[in-house]
Structure 1
C-alpha cells in the first residue's frame, strides 16, 4: 500500500479534483466512490476499480480491510493521513474509504424497449441519485438524461443512488425526443393540462417511457409535446405539486403494483 503524507502530491491533487470538479471528471473520464457501501456495490457489479484510498483511521475498520482484500489486485491501494483524506473527500463527514473508477464508456445506444424513465433538467444531485435508486427498485433498467441534468456519476449523485448507477443503463446528454421517436410503448408525462388523466385511472400493463421534469420548470415544451398522455397524481387540496423524486416513486410503484396484482391474480 502506497502511503502519502504531502498535500502537494500529484495523486492528492488529482483525487481532490475528481471529488470536487464536474469538469475534471468529464475531462479524465473518472469519478470517485465514497464509502464502503458504494465500493461494495461496485465490486458486486464487477465494475473495475482503478484505485482504493483509505485513511489511517479508516484502515482500522474491519469492513474497509475486507473490501481492500476483496478488490482485484490491479487496483492501486493508497493510504492517506486523516487530514489529507478529509481534504480529498467529497463529503463533510469523511467515510475513510474512497475508490476511483472509470465512467461508463461511450457506446452506440441500443434501441429502446421495455420500461424507462426520461429525466429533463433535474439539476440537484441528491434528487437525481434518489430517482435512479427508485427506478432500479421499481424494476426500471434504462434512464435517459437530457443535457440539462446534473451528472449521474458525480459523488453526490452516487451517494444518493446507493449503487443504483451500477444497475441501470444511463444515457446522459441525450436527445430524448429523437430517442423516443421509435419507442414501441407509451410516453407518459407527469404534467397538468388539457387531457391529463389521473395516474390511478391508467392501465400500466404495457411498456412505458415515463417523462419527468424538475419541479418548478417541468418538462421542456418540446419533450412535453412528444408525450402520448399527460398524467396527474391525485393530491389533497392545498398542495400544488410534489418533489420530482416523490412523483417518480408514486408513478413507478403504481405501475409495479398493477403488474403485481395482474401477476398474482388467481382465475376464478
Structure 2
C-alpha cells in the first residue's frame, strides 16, 4: 500500500480534482465511489476499481479493512492518506474512510428501444436522479437515457443516492431523446397532471418506456408531443404534483404489480 502525506503530491492533486470538479470527472472519464456500501457493491457487481483510497483511521475499521484486503488480493493499487487529506476528498460525513476510483462506464446507444427503459429530460437534482436510478433497478428496468442538460449520472452525489443501482443499469448520457423515441418499438409514456387516463388505467404488463422531465418545467413540449400517451397519477391531497422521483417510483412499481399479476 502506497502512503501519501503531502497535499502537493501529483496523484493527490488528481484525486482532489475528481472529488471537487464535475468537469474534471467528465474529462478524465473517471469518478469516485465514496463509502463502504458503494465500494462493496462495485466489487460484487462490477469488478475491480482502478484504485482504492483509504484514510489512516479506516485501517482499524473491520469493513474498510476487509475491502482493502480484497483489493490488495486482486492487485488493485491502494493508497493510504492521513485523515485530514482524506476528508478533503470525501463528501460523506462521519464515513468509514474508504473510496474507489473507477472508470466511468460508457453505455452504447442501442439500435432500437425494445426493453422497458427510462428517458430523463434535463433533470437537475442529483438526489432525484439517484432515487430514480435506484427505483428503476429495483423494478427490473435496465436502460436509462439522460438528455443533455441532465445532471451527470456518475457524480458522487448521484452515486450515493443510487446506492449501487448504477452497476445494474445501462446509462446513456447526452442521449438524443427524440431519436430514441422515434426508434422505440414500444409505447413511450409521459406523466402529466392534465392526462385523461391514470397510470392505473393502462396496460403495463408489457415493456414500456417512461419519460420524465425537469423538476420545474417538466418534459419539453416537443418530446411530450412525441410520447405515445400521457398518464396521470391521482392523489387526494391539496398539492399540485408529486416530486419527479416519487412519480417515477409510482409508475415503475405499478408496472411491476401488473407484470407480476399477468
1:214 and 2:217 are equivalent in the alignment = no
**Aligned counterparts of 2:205 and 2:124: Cα–Cα separation in 1:** 31
Relative to structure 2, which stretch is displaced further, 126-135 or 99-108?
A: 99-108
- Distance (Å, rounded) in 2 between the aligned partners of 1:23 and 1:91: 21
Query: 1:167 maps to which residue?
Result: 168
Which residue is equivalent to 1:24? 24
Q: Which blocks of at least 5 consecutive residues in structure 1 are unaligned?
A: 263-268
Inter-partner Cα distance in structure 2 for 1:202 and 1:31: 40
Q: CA shift at 1:213, angstroms?
A: 0.9
Residues in 2 aligned to 1:137 and 1:184: alpha-carbon distance in whole angstroms: 23
Residues 71-127 of structure 1: per-residue CA shift (max 9 Å, x gap): 253321100001000111133444300110001136453432110011111111111
Question: Corresponding residue for 1:185?
Answer: 186
Aligned to 1:266: none
Q: CA-to-partner distance for each residue in 1:225-259, whole Å, 9 max, x for gaps?
A: 11011110001141100000000000100110111
Query: How far did residue 9 of structure 1 move?
Result: 1.1
Counterparts of 2:107 and 2:202 in 1: how far apart (Å)?
36
Deviation track 1:118-151 (CA, whole Å, cap 9, x = no partner) reads 1111111111111100000011010010012101
Cα displacement (A) at 1:215: 2.4
**More deviation in 205-214 or 242-251?**
205-214
Q: Paired residue for 1:116? A: 117
Distance of aligned partners of 1:228 and 1:21 in 2 relative to their CA distance in 1, 3 Å threshold = same
Question: Stretches of 4+ moved more than 4 A in 1?
Answer: none
Aligned residue in 1 for 2:81: 80
Q: Secondary structure at the match of 1:150?
A: coil
TM-score by length of 2: 0.95
Could you tell me which residue of structure 2 aligns to residue 45 of structure 1? 45
Q: 1:54 corresponds to which residue?
A: 54
- Secondary structure of 1:88 counterpart: coil
Determine the structure 2 residue equivalent to 1:95: 96
CA distance 1:254–1:107, change in 2 (3 Å) = closer
Shift of 1:69: 1.7
Give the Cα separation in 2 of the matches to 1:230 and 1:45. 35
Partner of 2:142: 141
8 A Cα contact 2:181 2:227, kept in partner? no
- Change in CA separation of 1:255 and 1:86 when aligned onto 2, cut-off 3 Å: same
**Which stretch has the larger CA shift, 72-81 or 100-109?**
100-109
- Distance in 1, matches of 2:145 and 2:212, equals 10
**Equivalent-residue separation in structure 2 for 1:108 and 1:236 (angstroms):** 40
Per-residue CA deviation, residues 20-73 of structure 1 (Å, 9 max, x unaligned), is 111000111100000111111111113331110010111111111111122253
Question: Please, what TM-score do these two structures have when normalized by structure 1?
Answer: 0.93
Contact 1:120 1:212 in 2 (8 A): yes
- For the pair 1:258 / 2:258, whether they are aligned, the reply is yes
Q: Secondary structure at the match of 1:160?
A: helix
SS at the partner of 1:104? coil
